[in-house]
A and B are shown apart, each in its own frame.
Chain A
């Protein structure tokens, strides 16, 4: 084969890969469309007054906190006001170096309690367990630093109820969030995990830990992530639900059956993607042991989180996510094409491996190859332009379709000019932002491959959208 044959072959490989990846996502989009329509219709009576039957499953809300002094009090206060009949809140202070523990003691009148701590999952030493004198449903575990997974495991050990909900300390919830995410457990006893849509809180107004007004951020990076989250959650996850093949439930807000997670060994502390790893492991264990189960994604927006607003922080986040993804897949590689793997082992896992895990490698290689081949005169202009057109046009279709799904369902951004801004962002994110993301993810993949030491990033959060202590309440509506 001559060099030009190789060039042509590579050119077609990359073009077909980009078409394939986007067609795959479009298929998911179609699946999501049907699922979303059915979901919205079936829940059309949810706003009717509803009493408490006493049969709702009680939930332990676990809030791991590390250096969250500024926001922990308002976060916990909001979690104590959820619209749910029976739940407890367990804050796990994971060896914070700041005044997180003092803030909790002060705000909630904590007292040391002689609790017979049941260590079902191995965790770093627990220094003490506190109870609130003012809020009987609040407990605080003070423990040595061991990372988020270790903190969650400590919370699971102390949890009293059959379901637990892991919530990031900086997550902004809605009062009905817990009720919505627990619903799948009531509808089907086989449900072992459920999660909902996470949205971007930047630009929104938050009061006492609850979202009071939805707005768009001024920061362009945060704006770009809004469309990205729409895509990732609406069809990246909803599309897999009918096949019972959801591979990610966000660590920011997810509900699990406690006994199942304990049986599986809890969260792994040696991965950066403990939330995804747990889900993939649960799939693997249930599939390979032939145990009926369901992992469900609820499309309702239930949790709002602060998106990074600087390139450095965003890059760190994406690198971390990619490493987490790599670890989650490789730790459970036996699920891939397992004879009992079902839709997860034969569809979702390979899809994730080819398009999300190894995708950045192929994508970045494609960009670099095409640009270099064209610049060095080895590739014709028409081939180069065709490649760029495919990349842009299919990316655009995906971004616009996520916006369309949003418009068909929840209308989170109510003002017409907000939609106009989002349309602009949908177009712009395909020129530069997605490519930059691919490069960061490739970096994450390389770091994972060369086993560079993993650190849980101490993400810089401004919490500028949050009113009260720790926030300036300057949510901007655009």
Chain B
């Protein structure tokens, strides 16, 4: 039957056959769609049953380790690790210890060690996370090697695992890695540092920042470290931030350092930076003045209400309101005397915001 439809021209014939091949390919893909769907439905059903069986046992960990533990089938190991880790991340205190005891009784560390060596990124991620939660020191070197992995996700999960296992040994070298790896989002890095606690990270961050300032081409690392310092003990990092704000020339660095300044002894440099050519440096310096300045800064701030950049004017208006001893009524009087409409407008807005809050 097919023969009568085959074109006579050999080229057309070839194209015709390519078309038939494309239809066959589409049909095969349709079969694949159905097969995938069937496989997914079976897998989800299995996972639902498994979850229903395990949820009460994991919840029981709030009171203690369950005595009888069902065996986890091979094809549900990944799923089980996900549920277990989810509980571990959600709970605190003794419950975590009970969960870890449950994991020990089930030899989860062996499962995770084996899974960490597979080529599947999902399995490696969950395995690394499990090893961290279990505090498994046997894989220390493997995990440390993974911190250098090009995958940001895998390397960050490995770093987090090492912190879970032994934060004191990990942090001294990890802080430098955190500063250097720009593909690690600062939000995730900050979470890790927060969990480690300001007592542990403050001095390390300060010495890393000081080293980076001295190093040639270390500006980007200094900038990252200054951001990271926001989770440290603020009064201790303020001194180094003040020093950096004095010493460096890069506007981004000055602005980052100014965010941390809070010592009145640094007010001279803060005031000087309100005249910087970069608007974001001026805005940050003015913000600090609002926080640490005194009544003598009022003329400077009033002058900045006429700055060419909106954000500088806005920060100046907010800083005026924040200065010690400032009354809104006084500022309203001052507003009436301002010749510059931009200055008056921004002060009006800041006063209205202050009244609204």
Chain A residues close to B by CB (< 8 Å): 12, 15, 19, 38, 41-45, 47-51, 53-56, 113-116, 118, 131, 136, 183, 186-189, 380, 382-383, 385-386, 389-390, 392-394, 396-397, 399-401, 403-404, 407-408, 411, 416, 419, 423, 426
Contact = CB atoms under 8 A, between A and B. Distances in A.
B8 interface: yes
Contacts of A411: 40
A390 B26 CA distance: 13
A48 B86 contact: yes
A407 B9 contact: no
Contacts of B187: 53, 55-56, 186
B345 A116 contact: yes
A116 B349 CA distance: 6
B214 to A, nearest CB: 24
Contacts of A423: 30, 33-34
19 contacts: A44-B125, A53-B186, A55-B227, A55-B230, A116-B314, A187-B152, A188-B183, A382-B12, A382-B16, A386-B15, A389-B20, A393-B22, A393-B26, A400-B30, A404-B36, A408-B36, A411-B40, A423-B33, A426-B30
A235 B304 CA distance: 51
> What 9 A-B pairs have minimum CB-CB distances, sorted nearest first?
A382-B7, A186-B185, A393-B22, A389-B19, A116-B345, A55-B187, A41-B121, A53-B190, A118-B310
Interface string B26-51: 10011011101100110000000000
Contact of A383 (B9, B23, B37, B129): B9
A48 B85 contact: yes
A55 B33 contact: no
Contact of B86 (A15, A49, A386, A407): A49
B121 A42 contact: yes
A41 B29 CA distance: 22
B30 A116 contact: no
Contacts of B26: 393, 396-397, 399-400
Contacts of A51: 191, 194
Contacts of A55: 185-187, 189-190, 227, 230
A261 B224 CA distance: 25
B145 interface: no
Residue of B8, B185, B186 with highest tally of chain A CB at under 10 A: B185
How many of chain B's residues touch chain A, expressed as a range? 35 or more
A19 B11 CA distance: 14
Given A53-B191, A114-B352, A423-B30, 5 more contacts: A45-B153, A188-B183, A404-B33, A407-B33, A416-B37
Nearest to B87: A49
Contacts of B9: 382-383
A416 B39 CA distance: 11
Nearest to A411: B40
B120 interface: yes
Nearest to B23: A393
A386 B12 contact: yes
A42 B182 CA distance: 17
A188 B342 CA distance: 36
A386 B33 contact: no
Contacts of B346: 116
Interface string B296-328: 000000000000001001100000000000000
A122 to B, nearest CB: 16
